[in-house]
Amino acid sequence: MEQSKESPLVNISASEPQQSYEGLWPTNVKRENGVISIGGVLTTDIVRTYGTPVYVIDEEDMRMRARRWKNAMDDAFSSLAGADVFYAGKAFLSVGVAKWMREEGLGIDTCSLAELVTATKAGYTGEMLGLHGNNKSIEEITYALELGVKHFVIDSLAELDLVARIAQENNMIANVMLRVTTGVHAGGHEYISTAHEDQKFGLSVTTGVARLAIERVLDASSLRLVGLHSHIGSQILNINAFKEAADVVMGLRSQVLHDLNYDIREIDFGGGYAIRYTDIDEVPPTPEEYAHELAKIVRESICQTGASAPHVSIEPGRSIAGPSCVTLYSVGTIKDVAIADEKHRRYVSIDGGMSDNIRPALYGSNYTALRCNRASSEEKEVTRIVGKHCESGDIVVHDLALDKDVQAGDILAVPATGAYGRSMASNYNMLPRPGVIAAKDGQVRWLVRCENVNDLLNLDVDA
Ligand SMILES: *Cc1c(COP(=O)(O)O)cnc(C)c1O
């Protein structure tokens, strides 16, 4: 984490809620009489009952985003061999959220035992679950086999052998997808395309390891090769990155048909679809645009090679969970710090920070915020929102034009915190992790209750 680098004073305020899909706020967020509400519930009422910090998910909004992916993929691939959408559970998973995904017709992409168990508690059977990970444990593999997961996404030759062995010992056949690396890496605005693969995930197409793995699966009596998988990164805005990777995967598939006379039935294009965190972020392509482009690539490839149409799946996480959630914080201490030329920056401390949102510290991500208990004022002040942790990099919002009359006790709402917020939360400084609330039609309820000091001490055998 870069520290104390002099950054210019930037004055950007967050846009007010607009009830639009592309906006920064969930679609059922409004400001009325000065107070922001979520799913028809005033944030002031939520905070009075549930305290801060707290994550609040607009249930209707999250379901709508899931449904929109599902419908877009169904429409784009209806004239091919169909499509599935697997919600990437690592973005945020609870039994309640898994139930919403099941009701909206999505599968779940898991990568640990607890994620698998959470999905089953929401009523999922194996058919709509996938198991990921670059170091699956014997316990995870065994449990996934018992569940009959739709597929294991295999990440290495060693893992291929391990899954084959465990399946054989249990007299079972494991359906596998092979995660291949295409040389395309993407994230944010940029993507790079290289021939080498210096990263921990996947089986390289260019070096021939992917091809070797395909042959090895075909030789293993306890494995069935159902598909190829490619996930190129996260927060990707550039649709060309997906195109380039998809071309490589489709090329490998037709080579295998040609050389080995084996028709690989499925292709999974992974996740990574970008969302907006601040008003200066570009508006990303819609699910319909992504789905249309993917279908176009698949159609072109099968026309050129004469291969059959594959069944296609994708695994969006962030683009379903991220925009549906806001974090509510209470303002504590406020401090004006001189920086240069008689200018100052206002530091507003809130009651959470890097323990409930690690993304600014981990990735340098930027967020924004609005005061939600009172109307926003005309006059703004150059502000930085910081957490309460013992780290100077504990920043929630780097640069913000915030109401000049902000005071202790005000409530701030930070949008787009639904993905990789609670799921990456920690107990740093022994802060209890905030709970997650679902708001819908004027009602709120816990999805995951907040931790308290006893929860933390329960694990301490000397307490
Ligand atoms: C992280 C991940 C996803 C989801 O990524 P998002 O950026 O949240 O859409 C999907 N598939 C795999 C294999 C992943 O590692």
Instruction: Provide mean pLDDT across the span 254-269.
Output: 96
Of 179-183, 185-189, 285-289, the range with the lowest mean pLDDT is: 185-189
Question: 10 Å Cβ neighbour count for 261?
Answer: 7
Which DSSP string do the residues of 123-190 spell out, in sequence order? T--GGGEEE--SS--HHHHHHHHHHT-SEEEE-SHHHHHHHHHHHHHTT--EEEEEEEE-SEEEEETE
Q: How far is the CA of 444 from the centre of ligand 1 (A)?
A: 29
More confident residue, 309 or 190: 309
pLDDT at 1 over 60: no
Residue with tokens 């995951």: 448
The percent helix, strand, coil of the chain (3-state, each to 5) is 30, 30, 40
Question: Residue 239 is encoded by which pair of tokens?
Answer: 């649709």
Instruction: Provide mean pLDDT across the span 295-300.
Output: 93
Mean of the per-residue pLDDT values for the chain? 94
**Is the C-beta atom of 132 inside 6 A of ligand 1?**
yes
Q: How far apart are CA 459 and CA 101, in angstroms?
A: 32
pLDDT at 9 over 70: no
Tens-digit pLDDT profile for residues 25-74? 999 999 999 999 999 999 999 999 999 999 999 999 999 999 999 999 99
Question: 10 Å Cβ neighbour count for 161?
Answer: 14
pLDDT at 425 over 60: yes
Instruction: Provide mean pLDDT across the span 362-382.
Output: 93
> Which atom number of ligand 1 is nearest to the Cα of residue 322?
8
> Ligand 1: which of 62, 84, 182, 231 to mutate, judged by most atoms within 8 Å of the beta carbon?
231
> Ligand 1: which of 106, 155, 234, 420 to mutate, judged by most atoms within 8 Å of the beta carbon?
234
Q: How far is the CA of 234 from the centre of ligand 1 (A)?
A: 7
